[in-house]
Structure 1
């Protein structure tokens, strides 16, 4: 679970303890499932307010990689549950998309970072630096993410590689936050004097996720493991597993079990792995990344093993969803972003019989 877990914001409860609300509302969700509540679709809106559903998944940005396109922005998803928003990753454009989705910054309860590749955290500090005036100042936003990697892997070309940074070359989310605050010190100091704006880092309650004893390291990034608890409040219970994303460590997938009985799993960036299937067992929605490698131009990455060891092909997404018994697959963090939806669906559908949605930016899925 997150380190210093007992030092949690108001509304949080100890990991692993199922709240009474989870127990009471689970029966209502089971009844909704029996009645055929539809989660197989979704609707994409250019800009809108929340749909009015008690809970919904919103795919704020759906593109893999650091560069936005005309129709897709950087990877970021939100769960909006009874007036609270839980953010998973915050790629390029996430803060803008958060507003376009009609979400209020004072609803932001917690942020969960899967890993520290730049395309997943490009807008992370912007939520506090630029969006800080909209965040509630009476409680901090919980941030859970990776700790330091502990070492750097060898370069794939078996030669020396440049190392950036004067201090720890593998900082975790806490040190990333501190360094961002220092880099933007002038702006923060000026705003403090002109408008009494809070220091951006003071709006975040940052916790690096403590790993269970499974022998994980930057050289053994995702050993087989069972899901472990990360955090819980009275609306969601969050658990995680490590996933293999080439040489990135730690890299997480997250599962959100809602108090109403629904469950949503985010794969993060990963190649096909049984850890994801374990985490996603019986879930209602599996939000999974995918790369349509046959459509990627030759030479886009000089490492011939990169795509195979970093990402999941659509047929493999279907295999994971089938093994997990997931009720609905939502493809997000897709690359290339211009592959026709029917090709994605056909590829996933070759190994999975449930509904498949190729997510668009700002698409909403009532839960």
Structure 2
């Protein structure tokens, strides 16, 4: 890893920021304490909620950590499609005895206020999802000592990240669980993204900043492959969902290896943006009808997802998971980092020794 990031972590292992309550302070602290880079997810939280989690995390570790922020979103071009989808979900609301959410509950996720908090209370790393911040945002964070990372799903997006002055780019392959961090949401490109190793190679030829690999990584040998392809570190999300420190709902943790959930798909069903999750009833019944409308659909379905979780019904929840979900290991987060680091060392030694 380049000198801009090397001093942050003994192991090239980053815990992905998973919004929705998964990436809680105790998880980020455990990862950072073990020598990885733990991350908090500010997405869907209020600015004060984000600040309180940062304070809590600082009480658990003095190791470096990161905070992930969602970029503000442009207006949805087809509001009629949102209304049509809402009518489709009325039966779901009746079934769960709840109301649909207000699709007009906000588009910027409190971005400006969160940025103010992060400038007044600097953290080691800030990453951005769903777009690329302007150069002045990156420069402002750099002035207070914060390093910046931005997710990219194509070489062109990586070029935009480098042009903005970010310290590194998170190359997110199609294998990744949760939301694809595309800078703009183009429905015509659904399902046509890059696999991780191909994306790493193309981004390495496109930019000169460090690359963090993300997408389906579950083993140290996969981290070694990503590093050999040109990445400086690997970001893992699904691997940490089942750890005891994770804030994921127990039904979500259990579904990772449950025989009912054999595969994943990219879907807009829950949020209006492509996101990879375990295939369940809600995804099967509504995915094909969901329009490209984020965050409107996220707000619309939020009460349904909460009601399903409250009722113990995983078939109505957003079970975000990467393609490697069957490979999860129920280990404490710190122990998982240690195991991954040992596997990485063994894989590198095997490569250096010419072992086949």
* TM-score normalised according to structure 2 size: 0.36
Please state which structure has a larger fraction of its residues in strand.
1
